[in-house]
Structure 1
Amino acid sequence: MSRLVSRSCLSLSLALSLLALAIAPALAQTADGAANANPATKPKQLVMISFDGAHDNALWQKSREMAARNGAHFTYFLSCTFLMNKEMKKAYQAPHQKPGRSNIGFAQSDDEIRERLGNIWHAHLEGHDISSHACGHFDGRQWSEADWSDEYATFHRTLKNAWKGVDLEEPKGWQDLVDHGIHGFRAPYLSATAGSDMIAAEKKAGFTYDASLVTKGPTMPVEEGGIIRFGLPLIPEGPRDRPIVGMDYNLFVRHSKGEEDKADSKEFEDRAYRAFKSAFDKQYAGDRIPLQLGFHFVEMNGGAYWRALDRLVSDVCHRQDVACVSYSEAIPVIKARGKLQGTPASGL
């Protein structure tokens, strides 16, 4: 008999789904308002928050609650090995790797996968963007188009069979999400130098946008090979305003050399928040180029960067001239503004 997702997860999911239904019209109005803004006034400031890996179930729920409180939609770049149990991992083989290998591991139990599937599905129902981060988190900068296509196919196949693999009855609409609703990709390690082979494979796999670039500051996306390409920006941070990629892991490495330091967690939180808020303020007061920030489902340095994120989202997302949206929601707004360019962005 099919097993059910845990009662607590479903209770939270129901509550958040109702909140999502309540805020959806406001988000739609936000997007329309940005697209149809009077040319004499500034467009809405877009803010795109994304998460790589999307595995820890507690952080799935924490991020969904954060979004619901603040009328925001996020983008989740999912790594598919977190939907593979010990049996499934034996069949997984990434390009040029031995079978059963993953740089980020696999799910630890079927129950963990069941709860994760519930979070993914209800996040989708709440209006968040479910996107791909491939599977085993390997650096694909030397991969061929065929290698990328193979990894994308594994991601698609894993999601197609995910509920059945853990003896759950899948919700109506899951197959449509997997086949037609996953629009974006971010390469592990931001391997934007993979270049044309990766882009060609993305196009064949049905992706419409890529978020693997790093840019010298907030920039508009560009179109390359039929794929809209976004980049996480370098933003000033710290006492000397040295540029750093707007992502929690990069801050973790700078602040504590990649070693967990809970004693200085509040200092790191404050530094991160100042960097995020300063980057936001510059665009908000200026040309209103979309601001992109990236995070992981790991609370580094005692949760410093998630707390800084919560402070930023709570501060800016309620403003009438700000829209905290997913990448998929941002694209039509940017296109309507006539800001989408046709040459590759500056990758670093």
Structure 2
Amino acid sequence: MSGISRRGAARLGLGIGLGAAATTLAGCGSGDEEGLPPAGPGRHEGRPAGPPKKAAPRLIGDGSTAYTGKQPHQPGAPDPLEVGQRPPQFVIFSWDGAGEVGNGLFPRFLELAREHNAHMTFFLSGLYLLPESKKRLYRPPNNPVGASDIGYLTDGHVKETLKYVHQAWLEGHEIGTHFNGHFCGGSGSVGNWSPAHWRSEIEQAQAFVKTWRSNTGWHDHPSLPFDYDQELIGGRTPCLLGQENLLPVARELGWRYDASSPGGLQRWPDKKQGVWDLPLQGIPFPGHRFEVLSMDYNILANQSRNSTRAPSYNYPGWRTQATQSYLTGFRRAYETNRAPFFIGNHFEEWNGGIYMDAVEETLKRVADKKDVRLVSFRQFVDWLDAQDPAVLAKLRGLEVGERPPGGWSAFLRPEKKQAKVSRGHHAK
């Protein structure tokens, strides 16, 4: 990790590794506070004014989380593709770590999502809700008690993270997990963890979200407005390592997807060990013959050799290159096989924040195109599960950049069944 301190730039849960230029594709309260209408004047017994009052949230455990009803701002139940229908172009923006550290990036992208009717997935690191004063509550597998390669947030930043995670869910975004300590190297690396280690890590990540109130003592702070046991259906491992031993645990826990594969192709996904496998993807890298992983850090690694503060005269060209890489990857799918497009990010300001600018520009450029749906991973797997398996199998048969033979209408037309003729009889 040349150029990045373990407690500095790495603290936001970055993906580690280079793109194809190297060896592999790898990545590194009150009712109104709960989103409920406040009680107001003009209410008379037996004659309620306005819409009926929403039920009060049901606190869970110590009140760190609460059941507040169905998540707002969700699409309707997904429909299966009609015969010969062109698939939508799904684009999923996701954020590793999802901690707010005072740079305003979390609210910046929440606002962008509102402006463009987009939903995203925030892979929250459990440690970002655990005060450093309580770090000995964390027992990372194969590492010392309290250890963390991403450090801990200040109390002020924990409060900010709580605020924006709360807001994100109420605005329709998904809260997944980026686990906890982000160990990528040495014997304690997540790549060496057993299924039992992963189970422990997941249980601790959930516990830090579900008991932040007890751990912080902030009993007047609003509850997170969701049941995390029900909300958590997928995650992304640190550095995209360890998926093989994670998946059996994910399946047992009822997770529906995992986004930890160390580099995939722009093709329609399949399940792995019973769980939807949704990898970050290799995409064209302008000016090079190789492809780069669809993650901000991997583009950085190929531009500045892992330095997060390279000479600023490079920034304009690198910003344009990063933006064009995302847009070229999008167009390749949009104009051919319509494979879903996955982009991974971190709330960081590496190299002057150019990667945040590239992601914002990409979202703006694709949001209004026909058939494009900017969704969370949860919403995407809801759609996948509503489709005819035979149709998904045909979609998976399309290679990277391959248009459907004969066009979508012909390609997704059901196979004609040949009439069976009984032996010894002639068809009339």
Pick the TM interval, shorter chain: 0.7 to 0.9
The range that moved more, 86-95 or 243-252, is: 86-95
> What letter is aligned with 1:168?
H
2:197 to 141, 147, 171: 147
Note the C-alpha offset of 1:201: 1.5
| Alignment size in residue pairs | 319
Provide Cα deviations, 1:240-275, integer angstroms capped at 9, x if missing partner: 242111100011111011112233211111101111
More strand by share: 1
Supply the distance in 2 between the matched residues of 1:222 and 1:125 (Cα, whole angstroms).
Answer: 30
Structure with a larger share of its residues in helix: 1
Distance 2:267 2:220 in 1: 43
- Deviations 1:137-175 (Å, cap 9, x if unpaired)? 12312111111111011001111111343313464664x
Residues 43-71 of structure 1: CA distance to partner in whole angstroms, max 9, x if unpaired?
21000111111112421111111111111
Q: Are residues 236 and 340 of structure 1, via their aligned partners in 2, closer, same or farther at CA, if it must alter by over 3 Å?
A: same
Q: Which has the larger radius of gyration?
A: 2
**2:100 and 2:160 in contact (8 A); partners too:** no
Q: Which moved more, 1:200-209 or 1:140-149?
A: 200-209
Gaps in structure 2 of 5+ consecutive residues: 1-28, 38-71, 184-188, 397-428
RMSD (Å), alpha carbons: 2.7
1:266 matched to which residue of 2? 316
- Which consecutive residues of structure 1, in runs of 5 or more, have no partner in the other structure? 15-23, 344-348
Deviates further, 197-206 or 154-163? 197-206
1:223–1:340: 8 Å Cα contact kept in structure 2? no
The residue number in structure 1 matching 2:92 is 48
What does 1:1-348 align with in structure 2 at a 5 Å threshold?
28=75, 32=78, 35-57=79-101, 58-109=104-155, 111-138=156-183, 139-166=189-216, 167-169=218-220, 171=222, 174=225, 176-192=226-242, 194-195=243-244, 197-259=245-307, 260-261=309-310, 262-337=312-387, 338=389
Query: Counterpart amino acid of 2:287?
Result: P
What code does the residue aligned with 1:73 have? Answer: H
Q: Report the TM-score, using the length of structure 1 for normalisation.
A: 0.84
Cα distance in 2, alignment partners of residues 226 and 37 from structure 1: 23
Letter in 1 for 2:209: L
State the secondary structure of the residue aligned to 1:213: coil
Return the alpha-carbon distance in structure 1 between the equivalents of residues 170 and 126 of structure 2.
Answer: 20
SS at match of 1:28: coil
Q: Deviations over 1:267-315 (max 9, x none)?
A: 1111011111111111111110100011111122111111111111111
Provide the C-alpha distance between the structure 2 equivalents of 1:178 and 1:170, rounded to a whole number of angstroms: 17
* Runs of 4+ more than 6 Å apart: none
8 Å Cα contact 2:256/2:381 also seen in 1: no
| TM-score, structure 2 normalization | 0.69
Which residue identity lines up with residue 89 of structure 2 in the other structure? Q
Q: Is the 8 A contact 2:178 2:238 kept in 1?
A: yes
Partner in structure 1 of residue 64 of structure 2: none
Assess if the C-alpha contact under 8 Å between 2:119 and 2:374 holds in 1: yes
